């Protein structure tokens, strides 16, 4: 391959955003929760099986990223950071990019079907969500508050993918799915808040219509809403299915506070979730939190049940 050919292909590789695949780590909790509820499946699932599943979800995500780059190119040129993207710089042909979008989806779904129909359906749902979020006339990313609420749906869809990757039948626990959605909304609302603080509202209003209505105040209020909503349903899940997890709450709260603190920094890392692994102030407590949650999912702590015994109203 000549240098000219490499130069021509590189933009199409860039718009697939393989560096954003790290976000699909949110598939893993679905795997862990399913295995904690049905430990016998631990011996029937292989590492190669899990890796194939993660790869297929990453491919579906890349299909969505390609669509995003093509449709957002005119708007990205008005963004102080995103104007450097390949599509915004005019380095791709839309017709070729649309072919790439469809091919990536077909490859992702075909590989997903090697695992199960339920897993493929979850991944297809992730792709459909990307279409609804980006394609006019619906284009949900341009609707105030719904832009965050709908993009957060990617979180439970990834959990579903992880759940079905283990071969588990039926739906995951509803309270956990709702909590997972709200946590995704929390992350996205904090990201919006960090964008406003760093770039300024006037700069962003030409980039996306929702920024004509967002303010620092209403975004912080929405952050509070998602945090409270998510923890309420997480608490419901814990009370009904795994009371030991109550011991992880201080760490969960600390991680959420550490993420919010990043939004107040100049050129906040919260604007780029795919790079958060470079932030030790967040990653170290997050890793500790994950380790504690994993342990509590599989280790019984009888003292918890005597400390918080079930009771009936009026007794």
Q: Name residue, tokens 């862990």.
A: 32
What CATH number corresponds to the domain at position 128? Answer: 1.10.357.140
Say how many C-beta atoms besides its own lie within 10 A of residue 224's C-beta: 13
Q: How far apart are CA 185 and CA 170, in angstroms?
A: 25
Q: How far apart are CA 40 and CA 51, in angstroms?
A: 20
- 3 has a pLDDT exceeding 60: no
> Which percentage of the chain shows pLDDT scores above 90?
76
Task: Render the chain in DSSP notation, one character per residue.
Answer: --HHHHHHHHHHHHTT-GGGGGGGGGGHHHHHHHHHH-GGGGGT--HHHHHHHHHHHHHHHHHHHHHHHHHHHHHHTTSTTGGGSTTTTT-S-HHHHHHHHHHHHHHHHHHHHTT-HHHHHHHHHHHHHHHHHHSTTT-GGGSTTHHHHHHTTHHHHHHHHHHHHTT--SPPPHHHHHHHHHHHHHHHHHHHHHHHHHH-HHHHHTT-GGGGT--HHHHHHHHHHHHHHHHHHHHHHHHHH-GGGGGGHHHHHHHHHHHHHHTTSTT-GGG-GGGGGG-HHHHHHHHHHHHHHHHHHHS--HHHHHHS----TT-
Q: Which two tokens stand for residue 90?
A: 């005019």
Q: Region 294-311: what's the mean pLDDT?
A: 89
- 62 has a pLDDT exceeding 70: yes
Q: Region 279-288: what's the mean pLDDT?
A: 95
Q: How many residues does the chain have?
A: 315
Dmax over CA atoms of the chain, in Å, equals: 80
* Whether 162 and 287 share a structural domain: no
Q: What was the pLDDT predicted at 202?
A: 81
| Phi (first) and psi of residue 203, to 5 degrees | -65, -40
Which residues does 172 contact at the CB level (< 8 Å), separation at least 6?
30, 33, 34, 159, 160, 163
- Write the pLDDT tens digit of every residue in 140-188: 999 999 999 999 999 999 999 999 999 888 778 899 999 999 999 999 9
Instruction: Find out whether 197 and 268 touch, Cβ atoms under 8 Å.
Output: yes
Q: What was the pLDDT predicted at 168?
A: 86
Which residues does 270 contact at the CB level (< 8 Å), separation at least 6?
190, 191, 193, 194, 259, 262, 263, 276
- 290 has a pLDDT exceeding 70: yes
* Whether 149 and 181 share a structural domain: no
Domain count for the chain: 2
* Whether 223 and 268 share a structural domain: yes
> pTM, whole model, 2 decimals?
0.92
* Whether 122 and 26 share a structural domain: yes
Q: What was the pLDDT predicted at 312?
A: 64
Q: How far apart are CA 315 and CA 312, in angstroms?
A: 6
- Write the pLDDT tens digit of every residue in 179-238: 999 999 999 999 999 999 988 888 888 888 899 999 999 999 999 999 999 999 999 999
- 36 has a pLDDT exceeding 70: yes
Residue ending a domain, among 150, 169, 188, is 169
- 7 has a pLDDT exceeding 90: no
Q: What was the pLDDT predicted at 315?
A: 47
| 104 or 1, greater pLDDT | 104
* Whether 231 and 284 share a structural domain: yes
Residue ending a domain, among 114, 138, 169, is 169
- 298 has a pLDDT exceeding 70: yes
* Whether 158 and 79 share a structural domain: yes
Residue ending a domain, among 122, 150, 169, is 169
Q: What was the pLDDT predicted at 244?
A: 95
* Whether 120 and 23 share a structural domain: yes
In this structure, is residue 315 part of a structural domain? no
Query: Mean pLDDT of all residues in the chain?
Result: 91
Domain that holds residue 135: 1-169
- Write the pLDDT tens digit of every residue in 84-130: 888 899 999 999 999 999 999 999 999 999 999 999 999 999 999 99
How many CA atoms, within 13 angstroms, populate the side-chain half-sphere of residue 39? 5
Q: What was the pLDDT predicted at 192?
A: 94
Which residues does 87 contact at the CB level (< 8 Å), separation at least 6?
11, 15, 69, 70, 72, 73, 76, 97
């Amino acid at each position: 391959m000549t240098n000219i050919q490499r130069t021509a292909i590189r933009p199409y590789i860039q718009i697939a955003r393989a560096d954003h695949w790290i976000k699909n780590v949110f598939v893993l909790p679905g795997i862990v929760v399913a295995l904690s509820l049905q430990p016998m499946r631990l011996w029937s699932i292989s590492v190669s099986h899990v890796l194939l599943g993660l790869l297929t979800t990453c491919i579906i995500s890349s299909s969505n990223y390609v669509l995003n780059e093509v449709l957002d190119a005119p708007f990205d040129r008005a963004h102080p950071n995103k104007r450097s993207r390949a599509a915004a710089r005019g380095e791709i042909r839309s017709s070729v990019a649309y072919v790439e979008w469809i091919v990536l989806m077909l490859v992702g779904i075909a590989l997903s079907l090697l695992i199960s129909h339920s897993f493929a359906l979850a991944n297809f749902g992730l792709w459909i969500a990307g279409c609804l979020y980006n394609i006019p006339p619906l284009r949900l990313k341009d609707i105030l508050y719904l832009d965050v609420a709908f993009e957060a749906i990617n979180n439970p869809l990834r959990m579903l993918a992880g759940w079905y990757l283990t071969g588990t039948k039926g739906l995951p626990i509803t309270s956990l799915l709702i909590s997972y959605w709200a946590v995704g909304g929390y992350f996205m609302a904090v990201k919006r808040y960090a964008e406003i603080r760093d770039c300024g509202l006037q700069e962003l209003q030409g980039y996306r219509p929702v920024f004509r209505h967002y303010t620092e105040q209403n975004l912080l209020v929405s952050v509070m809403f998602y945090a409270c909503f998510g923890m309420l349903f997480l608490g419901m899940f814990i009370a009904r299915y795994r009371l030991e997890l109550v011991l992880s709450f201080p760490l969960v709260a600390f991680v959420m506070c550490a993420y919010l603190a990043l939004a107040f920094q100049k050129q906040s890392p919260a604007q780029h979730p795919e790079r958060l692994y470079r932030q030790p102030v967040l990653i170290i407590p997050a890793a500790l939190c994950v380790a504690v949650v994993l342990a509590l999912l599989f280790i019984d702590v009888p003292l918890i049940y005597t400390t918080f015994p079930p009771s009936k109203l009026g007794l």
